[in-house]
Each structure stands twice: as structure tokens, then as C-alpha cells.
A and B are shown apart, each in its own frame.
Chain A
Amino acid sequence: MYSIILATASRYLLLLLQMFSLFLLFRGHNEPGGGFVGGLVAAAAYALYFIANGIAEAEKLLQIDPFYLIAAGLLLAVSSTMPSLAAGMNVMTGIWFDTGTALFGKVGTPLLFDTGVYFLVLGVTLEIIFSLAEGDLQ
């Protein structure tokens, strides 16, 4: 079933939802939100797009295999634990660079970690959705 209204709307909604998910990610440290919810919202955005336009379109839009998102997220999260080691502190000690950036709020290794979580959650969810959906096509 193809609904032109949903398909058109989903394009704008996708953008909006993605922005919202990033917003959730960045505000997470002070207000409700965070990488996990952000990732889920972003995944939901893609899921909406996929419902409206079909799986092939959604995969084309994403361009990369969700597996890379998973790997990148994990790598990001792990590597965010390293700078403190280089700085001579315990592993995973949070380092904050600037606690008042306008756009991101606060920048530091925990934010990097949260971003890793964001990508991983997005990747995992999309991987499952896409695998299931691809099966339906065949």
C-alpha cells in the first residue's frame, strides 16, 4: 500500500525527527534525553520512512549498512574511554573541554560515549528492521 500523503509527509518528518533525536542526544546531560532515547527516535524516523516508501527506498536513504553504524558506535564508545588514559587519569574518567558551548551544551568524553550509544542503538534497531523487512520482499 502506497500513500502519497504519508510518503510526502515522511520526508519532512524524517528530517524533523532526526533533528529531534539529535536534540535529545545533546540535551541528555541536563534534561531528559540521552543517546539511547535519541538512537531509538532516530530509528523510529527511519522506520516511518520505510513504512511510507518501502524498504528499498529506506536503505537507499541510509546509504550505509547498519552494521557500520553498530561498529562505529561501539568504536566511538570505547575510544571515548581512552583520552583519560592518555591524560594520566583512570580509564573512563570523564574529561570536559568546555562546559558552555552554545549548540552542544557541554562537550566532553561522556558526550562522545553517548554519541557512540546513539549510533549503536540506531544501527541495531535498523539492522533488525531491515533484516525483517527484506525477508518480506522475497
Chain B
Amino acid sequence: MIGFAVSAAAPFFYRRFPGYFGWIAVSFPLFLFFSFTSFYPRIAAGEVLRETVFWVPSLGINLSFLLDGLSFTFALIITLIGAAVFLYAGTYMKHYGHASRFFVYIGLFMTSMLGLVLSDNIAAMFVFWELTGISSFLLIGFSHHKEQSRKSAMQALLVTGGGGLALLAGLILLYGISGTFEFSGLYPKRHLIVNSPLYPAATVLVMLGAFTKSAQFPFHFWLPNAMEAPTPVSAYLHSATMVKAGIYLLARMNHVLGGTALWQDTLLVVGAVTMVCSALLAFNQTDLKKLLAYSTLSVLGTLTMMIGIGSELAIKAFFIYLIAHSLYKGTLFLVAGTIDHAAGSRDTGVLGGLGRAMPFTMATAMLASFSMMGVIPLVGFIGKETLYASILEMEEWSRYLIAAAVIANGLLVMITLVAGIRPFFGSMRRLPSVPHEAPFAMLAGPACLAVLGLLAGLFPDFFMGAMLDWLASSVLADTLTFRIKLWHGFNEVLFLSFLTLLCGMLFYAARIKLLPCLHGRHITPVLKPSSWYDAALAGMLRVARWQTRILQNGSLRNYITVIVLTAVTLAVSVLAGSFSAFPEIPALDVTFYEVVIVSIILVSILVLITSSSRLKAVIALGVTGFSTGIIFILYSAPDLALTTFAIETLGVILFVLVLYRLPRFTSYSTTASRARDAAIACVFGIFMALMVLYTVSGELDSGLKRYFAGASLPEGKGRNIVNVILVDFRAIDTLGEITVLAVAAIGVFAMLKLTLKGGSR
């Protein structure tokens, strides 16, 4: 909540202090970071903190928050990287228009991401999940004047949004099985869930949601395209946080859904395939950010795979790898942004020799690159070691997986060489702009992250050691102990690390040779999932157009015919069985003025349908309406009467206004169609009359009337029952209705203005 308020306030601050905005903005995530770290002792002691704010308790949907090892780690990553990115963006975004808007979006994103990882309630988590998707859409499409970025934003939204729908279905199934919306309530019901016949469906749906969000194969294509976003966004959303939401969900659900062949094997296979494929796809990329994006994909695959392995060691490796990756990848993205900013290009073929001009950037990039390659004193090394160890520990598949992991990591080393190190060495080429060192604000963030990566590697015990056991136990059910160290001695694992580095060098050498051959060659479209996406999108549009032609053909008369006939048919088919006898018509004592009013209505209707002038018809319609209003008064429904009068008045005014723009009144309809319409109208009229008679004669007292009449004054504090129902008891319905009204007004506005423009041309 506070987060949303703060992000809404961002533009005002920005306008006041444009120069120092980064420094002001950074205080927010930093504050959050430190307030989260203050929970460290309690988390490390294995405590689970919970906090609940009631939202819609009648449906079991509450804003309940849970802080355990898993969400704690994510919260720290989000706020820490957030701080670095905010500071960086304060300077970087100056060159974009609407930078204040940017901070609103990214603040919104950070808040929803925090909400996502802290939510204990599945429904609340889903809301935050979608919010991250929407803010990501806004951020990717930030340069909305470029077609490419609009397209990428749409693609990301559709892919993750589609996954979100699958996730929603999966979560609802889970709720159906377990009857609870809380994660903490799901944990004890694991057996019930796993043995349920709906389990496979729920699992697959949840996994679909997670895979699309975390860009797992075959949904990986949106992530590299999302690199259209400004660099701070790529650093924050598309490497460190949002794409990890899927991973988070998998880790969170591991308790509930895990342990079955379906869960473990699918994750294992999908993760491994993503890990290798995306690293391979990076082979012929030349754009700095795209290279990094493919490497992120590969790491995401690795993380998924480790949940799939699911052993204690693997979960531990998962956490170390997660932290390490967030630290170095955030840094590298920011560095890429700095290079782009300073040198005016992101093409690795052009960049070179920047080290002399930007020494501090280079140092930062080196640290992060070594961490990514898994060179010894850095945290990335520990991550890779633990990963290999956990794979070697497996019984089956170990050999294939280790080969896959070595190849993938070798390719990562290659990417690092190309993207993180190469630009700083070699000879300087001609660049679009003269490279210069970045300002301090753009250096501080990435440098801090890189140094943290080094420190965490040197003193793992201090940074993660004590916590890791509890982290792992928040994903696995039981507690465990395991010490992490930088140096394990000469063993198989270390050998693998060296092998990886060696592979990386070889790939790098091969890349230089092969790149010219690959240039200009296309992968067959069948193998590219992004072309499936295009085809699916085109197909959907075709179906939509076809459907619009059939159902929404623009003829008001057809709409009404369809609506009336459907209503009558449905109601009759349902009610035909329950009411067999013709209702008896209650004895009526008709008064004189009632007869008068009814005859007025009848006469005006006759005028209405026979009139040859529009104005006459409109007035006749108005008379009918007002007479109906009088009937409401007679039967003591003053609220309805008031509303009817007001609506009729405005209706006549609107009609008159519309009349101006209509063509001359001619009889469009043939006699046959008129007869048909008359028949439909008669059927509807008879139907309504019968309905009323049934309602009056039958015993349909549902107790609602008595309840509202009784509760209106004591609970709603009002004597006007209709109004109390509208604004209090059924306020959510009213809210929905007025929202529809607002949308309709926008629609009318758009329609009128657009046709006007079209007409004037």
C-alpha cells in the first residue's frame, strides 16, 4: 500500500528536484532493504512471520503476508537491486522523455513484486503477479513511439498474461481440492492434494504460469525481445526480479506439489532444455543486451532444473545461484547500459578498447564477469560448484545433465567474454560517440553489487552461511545443515569448473570463426516458437474478426432480436417445467386514473409505431415513459418514478440531438420484416406479462425483502431501503455498474469523435 502511494508521489518529487532525483528515489528501496534485514535474526532463527489484513474474508481472500527464508531472500534481492537500479536510473533516464512516469511504473513494479513474494494468500499473490505483468508491459513499451517496443511489450504481456490465466485456473483447482487460499494452509494438506484426481491438471497449469513468467522453453522468446525496454528495466525486471517470479512460485509450490514424478521430471527436463537451448541461441547474437538476456534465460533454466532435482544440495545450490545471479547480472546489465550511454552502441562487433576511457566501469564489469564465469574468489564460483555437486549426487541422468550443465555454463563463459570483457580491450574502433566515464550515480549501484558479489564469495559464511539452512528448509520440508565454503579442495567438482572455463574459451574462439558463416542465415521458422506465437496471434485476430462479423454486425435491430429471443427461450425452457398451470389472474380493482394512464400509454404507442416523422415518434416515446413513471408513483415506488422521469427527460433531449445527424426519415423496413419484429415484440410482451402474473401468484418470498427492510435502518443507517441497498449492501454491484457507465461514455465519445473526423475529411 505504502509502496503504491510512494510511486504515485514520485512524479511530483521528480519535477521539483530533477537533478538529484536518483538519490531521493534510492532512499525508498534502501529503507525497505534495511527494514527487511532487521528481520534477519528472527528469520535465521527459523521463525516465520505472518501478518494479515482482512480483505474479502467471506471468500477467504485476505492480504496476508508471510516472511520466511524464501520470501526473505527474494525481498532482499528485490530491494537491493532496486536501490541500485533506482539510483542508476535517476541519471540514465534523463535522456528519455517522461522520466517521471518511468519512476511511477518502476515503483509500482517494485511494490507489486514485493507483494508477490511476501503474499501468503494465493489470490492476493495472483493479483500482484498480474500487476508485475502490467507494469512490465508499461516499462517494456516505455518508448511507445517505437513500433518495435510496442510489439515487444504486447508480446510479453500476451505470453505472461496467457500463462497468468493458466496459473489462475491452476490455483482455483488447488483451492477446490484443499479449500484454502493460504500457502501455509496448503502445506499440511499436501497428501490430499497430491492424491487428488485433479492434481495433474493443477500442476500443469501452475507450471504453465511459472514457465511463461520465467521465460522457460518454449516460451522463452519474449525475454530477448523485451530488451527493447530502457536498460534499468532490463537490469531490474528482466534479469533480477520479475522473471524470477516464476521460479519463486515453483519454489513456493515445491512443498505442496513437489515430490511426484510429474513435477520433478517436468521441471528437470524443461529446465535443462531451456538452459542449453537458450545458451546456444546466444551464439550468433551481437547485441550486448540480447546476449545478456539469453544468458539470463539459461540461468533461469538452471534454477528450474535445480528445483526439479529437488535434493537438499540442489535447493541450496538454487539459493546460492539465485543470489549470485542477481548480483552479477544486475551489474552487467547496468554496465551494458553505461556502455551504450557512453559509446552510443551496443553492438559487440563494434565495441572495443573502452577500458582506457572508463576504468571504473571496467573494474565493475570485470568483477561481475568473473562471478558469472565462476572464477574462484567470487560468489558465482560457489554457485557453480554447488550446482555441479548437486548434479553429481543424483543417481540417474547424472551423466547427461552434467554434460548439459558444462556445455551451458561454457556458453555462459563465452557470453561473458563477449559481453562483459571484450568491449574493454582490444583496439578502439570508430564509435558513434566518444566514450567517457559514467557519472558517479551510474557507477555506484553496479559497483556496490559487484563488490557484494566478491565479498559474498570471500566470506560465504558471513553472508549466507547461517541463513542457507533455513532458506532450504522453507522450500523442503525438513531442516538440514550444510556448510558452504569457497574452497573444497581438489576434487571432481573443481575439475568440472576448470573444464567449464576451458569450454568457454573454446566456444569463444569458435564463435569468432563461425560468426561470419552464420551471418544472414535464418533458422527454419518451424523451430522458432516465436513464429508459433505470431501464427497464433494472427489466427486469433482472424477468429475475432469472423466472430465480430457474425455477432456484432452493427445493426441495433439484430442485437435486440437476438437478446430478446435468447432471453425468452432460456427462461421458457427453464420455467416450463416448474409452472404447469396457467396463472390465475388476480382480481383487479381498477381506478379511474389508472385506466386513463394506461389508455394514454396505448395511444402513444400507436402513434409511435405509425408515425411518419421522427420527432413525433420521440415525443410519443417520451409520453409512454412519463406515463410509466406516473404508474410507479401510483404504486408507491417514488424512487423508480424519480429516476424514470429524469431518464425520460434526458432521453428525449438525447434523441433530439441525435435526430439532427440522421438521414431523412424513410421507411427502411419492408412489411415482412415489420411483421417479424411485431411478432417478436408480441412474444416478448406476452412473456413478460406471464412472468409478472407468475411472480404475483406464486409464493416467491425469498426472505430478501424482509431482511433488507429489517436491516436497513440498524445496519445501513438509512430509511430508504432502495438507496441503502444500492450504496451499502450491494455497493460492489453499483461500483461495477458505474464503471460500465464510465466505459460506455468513453466509447460514445470515441465513436462520435472518430466519425466526426472521418466525416470531415
Q: What residues make up the interface of A, taking CB atoms closer than 8 Å to B?
A: 24, 28-37, 40-41, 43-44, 47, 51, 66-67, 70-71, 73-74, 77-78, 81, 85, 88-92, 94, 96, 99, 106, 108, 110-111, 113-114, 116-117, 120-121, 123-125, 127-129, 131-133, 135-136, 138
Inter-chain CB contacts under 8 Å: number? 155
Q: Does B201 contact A (CB under 8 A)?
A: no
Q: What residues on A are CB-neighbors of B745 within 8 Å?
A: 66-67, 70, 123-124, 127-128
Q: Does B681 contact A (CB under 8 A)?
A: no
Give 10 closest A-B pairs by Cβ, nearest first.
A40-B646, A29-B718, A32-B638, A132-B657, A124-B745, A30-B719, A110-B727, A34-B723, A131-B752, A127-B745
Q: Which of B55, B654, B724, B726 contacts A128 (CB 8 A)?
A: B654
Q: Are A28 and B723 neighbours in the complex by a CB distance under 8 Å?
A: yes
Q: Are B650 and A40 neighbours in the complex by a CB distance under 8 Å?
A: yes
Query: CA of A8 to CA of B141 in the docked complex: distance in angstroms?
Result: 53
Q: Are A33 and B723 neighbours in the complex by a CB distance under 8 Å?
A: yes
With contacts A47-B650, A90-B57, A129-B657 known, is A40 near B643, CB below 8 A? yes
Q: Does B760 contact A (CB under 8 A)?
A: yes
Q: Does B717 contact A (CB under 8 A)?
A: yes
Q: Which of B56, B643, B649, B658 contacts A132 (CB 8 A)?
A: B658
With contacts A113-B731, A117-B738 known, is A37 near B55, CB below 8 A? no
Query: CA of A85 to CA of B55 in the docked complex: distance in angstroms?
Result: 7
Q: Are A37 and B643 neighbours in the complex by a CB distance under 8 Å?
A: yes
Q: Are A135 and B752 neighbours in the complex by a CB distance under 8 Å?
A: yes
Q: Is chain A's binding surface mostly helix, strand, loop or mixed? A: helix
Chain B: CB-nearest residue to A51: B653
Q: List 14 A-B contacts (CB under 8 A).
A: A28-B723, A29-B716, A29-B717, A32-B722, A37-B642, A71-B742, A77-B734, A110-B728, A113-B731, A114-B726, A128-B748, A132-B654, A135-B661, A138-B756
B666-680 vs A, Cβ < 8 Å mask (1 yes, 0 no): 000000000000000
Q: What residues make up the interface of B, taking CB atoms closer than 8 Å to A?
A: 53-58, 638-639, 642-643, 646-647, 649-650, 653-654, 657-658, 660-661, 716-720, 722-724, 726-728, 731-732, 734-735, 738-739, 741-742, 744-746, 748-749, 752-753, 756, 760
Q: Are B719 and A31 neighbours in the complex by a CB distance under 8 Å?
A: yes
Since A32-B642, A117-B727 are in contact, a sample of 19 more A-B pairs with Cβ atoms closer than 8 Å, ordered by chain A residue number, is A24-B642, A29-B723, A31-B720, A32-B722, A34-B639, A34-B722, A34-B726, A36-B643, A37-B643, A47-B649, A47-B653, A73-B738, A85-B55, A94-B716, A106-B718, A110-B717, A110-B718, A110-B727, A113-B734
Q: What residues on A are CB-neighbors of B57 within 8 Å?
A: 90
Q: Are B56 and A74 neighbours in the complex by a CB distance under 8 Å?
A: no
Chain B: CB-nearest residue to A128: B748
Q: What residues on A are CB-neighbors of B739 within 8 Å?
A: 74
Q: Are B649 and A90 neighbours in the complex by a CB distance under 8 Å?
A: no
Query: CA of A74 to CA of B746 in the docked complex: distance in angstroms?
Result: 13
Rounded to whole Å, the gap between the CB of B93 and the closest CB of chain A is 27
Rounded to whole Å, the gap between the CB of A25 and the closest CB of chain B is 10
Most buried by B among A36, A78, A90, A94: A36
Query: CA of A88 to CA of B51 in the docked complex: distance in angstroms?
Result: 13
Chain B: CB-nearest residue to A127: B745
Query: CA of A34 to CA of B731 in the docked complex: distance in angstroms?
Result: 13
Query: CA of A30 to CA of B728 in the docked complex: distance in angstroms?
Result: 13
Rounded to whole Å, the gap between the CB of A121 and the closest CB of chain B is 7
Chain A: CB-nearest residue to B749: A131
Most buried by B among A32, A71, A125: A32
